[in-house]
Structure 1
Amino acid sequence: MEWDIVIGRERSVGAGWAFAVEVSCDGRSCEHNVLLSWVDYDYWCGGASSPADVVRHAILTALQAKTPTQFGERFDCSTLRRCCPGFDDAMRLRLGRCPAAHEPGTWTEQPLRKAG
């Protein structure tokens, strides 16, 4: 199954951004108003990707998760982490960052060894 995710207009709101998003698959489509907070943006990509790319990856990650995900007409990207186990790790990997060492998951950070 291949999803087409079109990120429309971006607006600054409060402590983040709002996007008009259209998600299509198999000839069916639906529109959503998606919020992304500065905190989630920084956590998932650290400024290395555009906010629109983070939203696209968040939706795609949730759609590809083994847990069925229902998107409302309006939702915040932070709600996806609560319904998709491993969401944060998957997002950080998709966006080129290693998962955080304090999060449960398959990746663990090795401490740096002191030279000498």
Structure 2
Amino acid sequence: MQYALIIREAAEDFKRREDPAYKNGWIAYTQALVQAGIMTGGAGLTGPETATVVRRRGEDHDVQDGPFPEGKEQLGGFYLIDVPNLDAALEWAARVPISQQGSVEVRPRLQM
């Protein structure tokens, strides 16, 4: 079954992305997913200051440029993995190299 590991990072984590030790943790984790043969997709995302939000307002829409400081955690990226069950997905989620302020949401992929 496919699951999305949705990475939410604290603002300071986006600043740490150029730190070699921090970056190497993510590289090692991604390599482990690939070596296990379970990674089917994913991407890291740029910081929230680069975001643009489009909201529907009836027949119209509003466009708002970032940053969006209201939340402590921001969407930092995601992995798509194919594992036998939720327990396996949770085991991989627990290994994501997030900081103490970050989180990983595990969600099954919608089959269409």
TM-score by length of structure 2 reads 0.26
- Relative to its length, the structure with more strand (as a share) is 2
Which structure has more relative contact order (CA 8 Å, sep 6+)? It is 2
